[in-house]
Structure 1
């Protein structure tokens, strides 16, 4: 039961009046759960005679999915640390021009650091949802609801992270960098939505919904 208690503590920490853990950390956790569901589907596919044709692919998917579960959990932790720097930067004094400039520079640097974790969450979720789309083609159909859940959660994680990145962009003064990041995350979110829709269409058809 201890892990469930830890989950409960995390959920209520999110619900509290503390700014961390916040959306970026939640995005990492949601993404890790999406990857976990995909791994579960593969675990019920690999080693089964009925799906022998896909045994190697499913086994390899389990390994890569589990790696990304860990990556996303680490990014959830990194997001909390990064956001704490943002809070400290906003608390810097601004009583004169020199202090205002130092504060502005500190905020920009902190926000640039803070968007890195959710940006990476988006990149990983894009890779994972493409992989999950492939899993939806060969995975054990008895776990179709879990495959659907994986697609939904991975897109939700990417979408949550998308807004977390955007929240920091106004403080990035380098216009070219700002535009490049904005372009990248918009492309990622379009791709994750497309793959989510493909996954759900396949599952919906098989479940005759």
Structure 2
């Protein structure tokens, strides 16, 4: 077996088992998977993870006892977001694999298969965007009552969550042009652009909280 054959790209489910170093190497390789969409999922997951870390250093402290119920709810949502981003990372790779399979189809089902693959290629980044916006709202709420020593980590989480929205927007835009209904494609791009603006405002709101202490 040649070295080239040994360096086969990881499949959608295998991505989640890679070490940080191996994921970087896989991304750097001359293969379409993992690409920008999968990277967006990883970035979003890291944003949620940082939020969880901030919360872990806040929960249980006497100074925040009155916010215990809110923190419990945030803990559940942040952990769920981290898991969902992992799933979406794999889903993005699966969507690309679906597109590849559809493009190779030679029978009369090709058009239907391509439409299904295109829908998946748009739905995954849209789901990442929705999850990132929800995460940004939670990060903003956490910033009101959290350990001040972790505020820069909270800001980092917000920046990463916004980056996930922007990366997802690129994936929506590049695929929306292939939607047969041009009005629908234009609407998808417009909605995605509005979400980018909303993400920027939420990130700024988190940074304003942080700037009062840092």
Task: Please give the TM-score of this superposition, normalised by the length of structure 2.
Answer: 0.86
Residue in 1 that maps onto 2:131: 124
Aligned equivalents of 1:74 and 1:205: distance in 2? Answer: 36
Residue 189 of structure 2, aligned match among 167, 182, 187: 182
Q: Runs of 5+ in structure 2 lacking a partner?
A: 1-15
Residue 22 of structure 1, aligned match among 35, 40, 47: 35
Q: Residue by residue, what CA displacement relative to the aligned partner does 1:150-201 show, whole Å, maximum 9, x if unpaired?
A: 1000001111111011111111112343233223212211111100011112
- The count of residues paired between Structure 1 and Structure 2 equals 199
1:32 is displaced (CA, Å) by 0.8
Residue in 1 that maps onto 2:115: 108
Residue 97 of structure 2, aligned match among 84, 88, 92: 84
Aligned equivalents of 2:72 and 2:23: distance in 1? Answer: 31
Residue in 2 that maps onto 1:96: none
Q: Provide closer, same or farther for how the CA distance between residues 23 and 46 of structure 1 changes in structure 2, counting only shifts above 3 A.
A: same
Name the SS of the counterpart of 1:27 in structure 2: helix
Residue in 1 that maps onto 2:141: 134
Name the SS of the counterpart of 1:45 in structure 2: coil
* Higher helix proportion: 1
Name the SS of the counterpart of 1:171 in structure 2: coil
Residue in 2 that maps onto 1:6: 19
Tell which deviates more after alignment, 170-179 or 145-154.
170-179
Aligned equivalents of 1:56 and 1:140: distance in 2? Answer: 16
Aligned equivalents of 1:9 and 1:165: distance in 2? Answer: 27
1:43 is displaced (CA, Å) by 1.2
Aligned equivalents of 1:165 and 1:73: distance in 2? Answer: 19
Aligned equivalents of 2:191 and 2:71: distance in 1? Answer: 30
Structural mapping, 1:137-152, within 5 Å: 137-152=144-159
1:89 is displaced (CA, Å) by 3.0
Residue in 2 that maps onto 1:160: 167
Name the SS of the counterpart of 2:60 in structure 1: coil
Q: Provide closer, same or farther for how the CA distance between residues 5 and 110 of structure 1 changes in structure 2, counting only shifts above 3 A.
A: closer
Query: Does 2:53 correspond to 1:40?
Result: yes
RMSD of Structure 2 on Structure 1 (CA): 2.0
